[in-house]
Chain A
Amino acid sequence: MKKISGNALRGHLDAMVLATLARGEAHGFEIMQRLGAAGRGALELKEGTLYPVLYRLEAAGMIVGKWETGATERRGPRRRIYKLARNGRRDLKRRQEQWRQFIQVIGGIVEAPT
């Protein structure tokens, strides 16, 4: 499968992160793993670019982040766990509708028989 690179993904990253978090709370690395698995290896995304997206979504009230508590067995640097906020759920629904419409309209044009 041909790789889909960062530039093509740029405009969709917010929606992709929201959709990933709709499956349950996760920290940054786990979000990346979920995206990788869902993209079946076709997504070519620099992982650091995820964090500006997370900060933007959190500032907009779409997601809520909290530091992992010390109760886990894991050692090493602290991780921040993100979950979808009510605003984010609403926004995701809106984006999904927009996406379906986009595919329907643009797909109809691009895939029209020549």
Chain B
Amino acid sequence: MNNELSPELDQRFRIHVERIVRPVRAAERRKDRMREELLAHSTSAYFEERQVHSSDDDAVMAVFDRLGESAELTKELQAGVSWVERVLFSGEKAPTRVKRWVMRKPGESVWRCAARSTAFYGLLFPLVIVGAAYTLVPVLGLKPDGFARLNANGSILLPFYLISLVFCFLGTPSMEAVHRALWGPVKRYRLAIWICLLYLLSVLAVCFWVRWEALDGSFVVSPDLWVFAGVAVATPVILIISSRLGYSERQRYYRWTSLDLAE
């Protein structure tokens, strides 16, 4: 039996499931699981009902009835979530909006998405750093001139900022390309290795350039090189892991959370 719904029906079931799951205060991973399972159940029930009912509408209404009252189901799903998780994720609305803004929208080019998320983090990082300067430095008892020295000639903070932005911008397309190469319908291991190497080289190039600039062109072998070696090992590993764990999950997450429940 073909268990694939038409896009319209799929959308109707998704909206119904999202109405049940969205109000639950729980971690997104848990909610994602609820969504997937309820959607799979609705799909199977629909094909069963379609053999009894003559119209799609009747079959869909029968499935909704079989699942039960949405508010009641939300309450039951909520009851299974520990109070700690409930408290931790009670204010999920704001992060959800932020995540949705940073995530790639359907039909959007990967470069545009990379530019948008880079702009977002580009604005966020200075705020975090300035916030830390004004709160943590006095609290930890550091001398204010120590912090000022860090920023002298843009030696630490500016390079750190630039590296973060490069990571950010190249990260999105690289992650997507690695995901396609390793977990797409056609496995392209060599391509995945090349992407990882290119990503790594660009990150290392930026690191070396920043280091060169910071030392006024007098680049010497220093303990900082160990940091570069760490970056060299960590970058491909992080890229592969995040493309496996993060990419498809984020795509799914966006698909669910962008549903308009007023439909």
Of A17-25, A71-79, A93-101, the stretch lying at the interface with chain B is: A71-79
A17 to B43, CA, bound (A): 21
Of B73-81, B122-130, B145-153, B156-164, the stretch lying at the interface with chain A is: B73-81
A51 to B33, CA, bound (A): 10
Q: Does B77 lie within 8 Å of A76, measured CB to CB?
A: no
Interface size class of A (residues with CB under 8 A): 20 to 34
Q: Does B40 lie within 8 Å of A78, measured CB to CB?
A: yes
* Most A C-beta atoms less than 10 A away, residue of B4, B34, B44: B44
Interface assignment of A55: CB less than 8 Å from any CB of chain B: yes
Q: Does B73 lie within 8 Å of A49, measured CB to CB?
A: yes
Q: Does B68 lie within 8 Å of A55, measured CB to CB?
A: no
Q: Does A51 lie within 8 Å of B40, measured CB to CB?
A: no
CB proximity of A74 to chain B, nearest CB, Å: 5
**Which chain B positions have C-beta within 8 A of A52?**
73, 76-77, 79-80
CB proximity of B4 to chain A, nearest CB, Å: 5
Interface assignment of A108: CB less than 8 Å from any CB of chain B: no
- Our pick among B43, B76, B79 for the contact of A76 (Cβ within 8 Å) is B43
A78 to B80, CA, bound (A): 22
Interface assignment of B102: CB less than 8 Å from any CB of chain A: no
**Which chain B positions have C-beta within 8 A of A32?**
41
Q: Does B69 lie within 8 Å of A77, measured CB to CB?
A: no
Q: Does B38 lie within 8 Å of A48, measured CB to CB?
A: yes
A83 to B203, CA, bound (A): 46
Interface assignment of B20: CB less than 8 Å from any CB of chain A: yes
Question: Considering the complex, which residues of chain A in the window 40-65 have a beta carbon less than 8 Å from any beta carbon of chain B?
Answer: 46-49, 51-52, 55-56, 59
SS of B interface (majority)? helix
Q: Does B68 lie within 8 Å of A48, measured CB to CB?
A: yes
A70 to B36, CA, bound (A): 15
**Which chain A positions have C-beta within 8 A of B40?**
27-29, 76-79
Q: Does B2 lie within 8 Å of A47, measured CB to CB?
A: no
A75, closest chain B residue (CB) = B4
Interface assignment of B99: CB less than 8 Å from any CB of chain A: no
Please judge, given known A-B contacts A29-B45, A56-B80, A74-B3, whether A47 and B37 are in contact too, CB under 8 Å.
Answer: no
Interface assignment of B27: CB less than 8 Å from any CB of chain A: no
Interface assignment of B182: CB less than 8 Å from any CB of chain A: no
CB proximity of B6 to chain A, nearest CB, Å: 12
Please judge, given known A-B contacts A46-B67, A76-B43, whether A51 and B4 are in contact too, CB under 8 Å.
Answer: no
Q: Does B37 lie within 8 Å of A80, measured CB to CB?
A: yes
**Which chain B positions have C-beta within 8 A of A49?**
68, 73, 76
Q: Does B39 lie within 8 Å of A77, measured CB to CB?
A: yes
Question: Considering the complex, which residues of chain B in the window 42-96 have a beta carbon less than 8 Å from any beta carbon of chain A?
Answer: 43-45, 66-69, 72-73, 76-77, 79-80
Interface assignment of B136: CB less than 8 Å from any CB of chain A: no
A14 to B69, CA, bound (A): 20
**Which chain A positions have C-beta within 8 A of B79?**
52
A72, closest chain B residue (CB) = B3
Q: Does A28 lie within 8 Å of B41, measured CB to CB?
A: yes
Q: Does A51 lie within 8 Å of B3, measured CB to CB?
A: no
A86 to B17, CA, bound (A): 32
B14, closest chain A residue (CB) = A77
Q: Does A51 lie within 8 Å of B68, measured CB to CB?
A: no
- Our pick among B2, B5, B43, B66 for the contact of A46 (Cβ within 8 Å) is B66
* Most B C-beta atoms less than 10 A away, residue of A46, A75, A77, A79: A77
Please judge, given known A-B contacts A49-B76, A51-B37, whether A76 and B69 are in contact too, CB under 8 Å.
Answer: no
